[in-house]
């Protein structure tokens, strides 16, 4: 994706490299020895309809540039643009495109396949939104087939018009259906790219992790993946829309657009930005009716999608899928940072630290500080300001439920490495991505000479080993123990990589419940309350 200083001539000849897929031939690139195929159309879909396979073609199609990405409700400069550099690309509803990086174009190579599902909640982002997502390094370094893809998002991905006609059945999960279709494309075609269709790891971060979690309870995806990784993507509590909410959203969108129910087809032709304005207004209507902010995401319809497994359980069909799940120490770094940070964290006075901590934690401040000191002795307590309990508690909840359901092993990690930005910044939401894709030495905000190279060898090595065998352990790192049905250990990724057990249990308890109290709360039971869900 991103230009790098080249040492070899890139090859993209009319007849090489060419791969034959089920639908037809594709011509890609050879970049520094890696084969790259960008922007392969894996499905086509009318707005609010289920995706269909692409039509077969004659001759050779080019796969040398990325396909368009799903339109976003809006695309402002991200608050974390510096530490998480974005690559924005052209947006179009015709967005079912997949990218492949591989070292072999040999059907017998059968390398492990890693399928990256991008984040940005269920509303924004793309397979190439972050520089960290580039698959060239991990494919070459780990000899794996790396796959990433675009799929439908926000209003066009998750609004249920099902009550207006069978053709719109599952329109409340069109985005999930795109993911399933992409996994079917992998099953049917990845062998030609040197991949093993029987060894597919699905992985995602933030919203992408939430999508991985939801795929566990999407029966259409059963059997299409064999391992899973959720990076900072399992927030605590619920997060799905209900069928009732999604259908009410559809109803209100039609009303906002002055489209009578019998003319529902017109909603397929409305210009996207007009649809967005209607959807944003309709969102307010849903909020007024249901008492909480409604985010467009997977619709729990108990048919296509059965709801979050942490609430409704891991089904027998997917219990044998192992899981890596983990977070970064400072997930909320950007959400709570004092910007611009005019003073390095280490230069803050005790008073300044306490003033800021009290702003976030109020009455809990003393308890948080005490628990933080116990969990992270020697660390600057200002780090507690940015602590990522929202995702870490979510991870604990998932692990507890998987233990209860008798699932395959679950591995937990926590990235605690301080980044050099501002003379020391707590690792943020997204920071681990560059490390697991072996791209961390490309990123300004997190690169620490020597340390980064070593840590990304360890982390990418673990992800690749896991994709290969289901076990992330490799000779270059201490033994990573999964939960053993009782004890949950955490692999700490930092200058000193090591296992800890329950080191932050007290801190998580103070912040809202740790693994001892997995909260199988259901919003419809009224326990979680009606507050807004975090916009991922």
Interaction pattern, residues 240-279, with a copy of itself; x per rule: CB under 8 A: ---------------------------------x------
> Residue 127: helix, strand or coil by DSSP?
coil
Instruction: Give the end-to-end CA distance of the chain in Å, rounded to a whole number.
Output: 24
Contact between 5 and a copy of itself by CB under 8 A: the answer reads: yes
- Of the two residues 171 and 333, which places its CB atom closer to a copy of itself in the complex? 333
Q: Could you write out the DSSP letters of every residue in 399-435?
A: HHHHHHHTPSPEEEEEE-PPBSGGG-BPPBTTHHHHH
The Cα–Cα gap between 310 and 528 comes to 15
The Cα–Cα gap between 298 and 295 comes to 9
Q: What are phi and psi of 428, to 5 degrees?
A: -100, 165
What 8-state DSSP symbol labels residue 13?
B
Contact between 3 and a copy of itself by CB under 8 A: the answer reads: yes
- Of the two residues 246 and 452, which places its CB atom closer to a copy of itself in the complex? 452
**Contacts of a copy of itself in 121-160 (CB under 8 A):** 131
**Of 52, 107, 343, 374, which lies in the binding site for a copy of itself, with binding defined by CB under 8 A?**
343
- Of the two residues 64 and 270, which places its CB atom closer to a copy of itself in the complex? 64
Cβ–Cβ contacts within 10 Å for residue 98, how many?
Answer: 26
Contact between 65 and a copy of itself by CB under 8 A: the answer reads: yes
Cβ–Cβ contacts within 10 Å for residue 427, how many?
Answer: 27
Q: Closest approach of Cβ 175 to a copy of itself, in Å?
A: 22
**Of 165, 344, 374, 498, which lies in the binding site for a copy of itself, with binding defined by CB under 8 A?**
344
The Cα–Cα gap between 60 and 405 comes to 48
Contact between 85 and a copy of itself by CB under 8 A: the answer reads: yes
**Of 55, 77, 260, 377, which lies in the binding site for a copy of itself, with binding defined by CB under 8 A?**
77
Cβ–Cβ contacts within 10 Å for residue 79, how many?
Answer: 12
- Of the two residues 232 and 452, which places its CB atom closer to a copy of itself in the complex? 452
Interaction pattern, residues 358-387, with a copy of itself; x per rule: CB under 8 A: ------------------------------
Q: Closest approach of Cβ 382 to a copy of itself, in Å?
A: 14
Contact between 61 and a copy of itself by CB under 8 A: the answer reads: yes
- Of the two residues 25 and 49, which places its CB atom closer to a copy of itself in the complex? 25
Interaction pattern, residues 422-451, with a copy of itself; x per rule: CB under 8 A: xx---------------x-xxxxx-xxx--
The Cα–Cα gap between 53 and 507 comes to 49
Q: Which stretch binds a copy of itself (CB under 8 A): 212-220, 251-259, 301-309, 334-342?
A: 334-342
Q: Closest approach of Cβ 366 to a copy of itself, in Å?
A: 28
**Residue in the block written with tokens 């009410």:** 248
Q: Closest approach of Cβ 356 to a copy of itself, in Å?
A: 15
Contact between 64 and a copy of itself by CB under 8 A: the answer reads: yes
Residue 229, sorted as left (phi over 0), alpha (psi -120 to 50) or beta, turns out to be: beta
The Cα–Cα gap between 379 and 512 comes to 22
The Cα–Cα gap between 402 and 234 comes to 13
Give me 128's structure tokens: 């190439």
Residue 411 makes CB contacts below 8 A (sequence gap 6+) with 322, 323, 324, 325, 326, 466, 472, 480, 482, 483, 491
Interface ranges with a copy of itself (CB under 8 A): 2-14, 29, 31, 59-62, 64-65, 68, 75-77, 81-82, 85, 87-91, 131, 273, 340-344, 347, 420-423, 439, 441-445, 447-449
């Amino acid at each position: 994706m991103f230009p790098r200083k080249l040492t070899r001539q890139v090859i993209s000849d009319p007849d090489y490299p060419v791969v034959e897929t089920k639908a037809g031939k594709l011509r890609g690139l050879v970049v520094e020895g890696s084969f790259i195929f960008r922007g392969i159309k894996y499905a086509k879909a009318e707005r609010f309809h289920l995706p269909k396979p692409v039509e077969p073609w004659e001759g050779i199609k080019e796969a040398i540039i990325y396909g368009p990405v799903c339109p976003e409700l809006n695309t402002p400069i991200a608050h974390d643009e510096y530490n998480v550099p974005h690559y924005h690309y052209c947006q179009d509803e015709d967005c079912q495109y997949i990218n492949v990086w591989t070292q072999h174009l040999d059907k017998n190579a059968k390398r492990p396949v890693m399928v990256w599902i991008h984040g940005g909640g269920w509303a924004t982002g793309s397979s190439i939104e972050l520089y960290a997502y580039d698959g060239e390094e991990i494919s070459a370094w780990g000899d794996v087939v790396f796959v990433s893809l675009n799929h439908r998002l926000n209003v066009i991905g998750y609004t249920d018009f099902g009550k207006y006609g069978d053709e719109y059945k599952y329109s409340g999960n069109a985005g999930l259906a795109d993911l399933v279709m992409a996994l079917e494309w992998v099953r049917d075609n990845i062998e030609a790219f040197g991949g093993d269709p029987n060894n597919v790891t699905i992985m995602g971060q933030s919203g992408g992790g939430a999508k991985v979690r939801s795929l566990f309870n999407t029966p259409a995806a059963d059997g299409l993946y064999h391992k899973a990784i959720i990076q900072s993507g399992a927030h605590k509590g619920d997060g799905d829309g209900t069928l009732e909410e999604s259908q009410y959203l559809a109803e209100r969108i039609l009303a906002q657009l002055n489209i009578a129910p019998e003319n529902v087809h017109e909603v397929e032709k409305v210009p996207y930005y007009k649809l967005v304005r209607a959807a944003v207004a309709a969102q307010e209507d849903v909020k007024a009716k249901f008492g909480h902010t409604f985010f467009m995401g997977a619709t729990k319809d108990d048919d296509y999608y059965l709801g979050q497994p942490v609430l409704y359980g891991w089904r027998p069909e997917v219990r044998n899928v192992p899981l890596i799940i983990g977070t970064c120490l400072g997930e909320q770094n950007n959400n709570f940072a004092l910007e611009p940070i005019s003073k390095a964290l280490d230069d803050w006075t005790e008073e300044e630290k306490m003033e800021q901590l009290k702003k976030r934690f109020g009455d809990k401040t003393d308890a948080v500080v005490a628990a933080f000191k116990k969990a992270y002795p020697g660390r600057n307590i200002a780090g507690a300001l940015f602590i990522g309990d929202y995702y870490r508690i979510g991870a604990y909840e998932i692990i507890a439920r998987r233990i209860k359901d008798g699932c395959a092993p679950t591995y937990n990690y926590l990235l605690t490495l301080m980044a050099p930005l501002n003379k020391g910044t707590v690792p943020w939401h997204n920071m681990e991505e560059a490390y697991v894709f072996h791209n961390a030495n490309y990123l300004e905000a997190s690169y620490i000479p020597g340390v980064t190279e070593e840590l990304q060898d360890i982390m990418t090595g673990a992800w690749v080993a896991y994709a290969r065998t289901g076990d992330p352990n490799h000779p270059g790192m201490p033994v990573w123990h999964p939960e053993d049905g009782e004890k949950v250990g955490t692999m700490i990724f930092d200058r000193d990589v090591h296992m800890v057990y329950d080191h932050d249990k007290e801190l998580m308890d103070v912040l809202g419940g740790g693994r001892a109290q997995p909260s199988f709360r259901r919003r419809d039971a009224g326990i979680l309350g009606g507050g807004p869900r975090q916009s991922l």
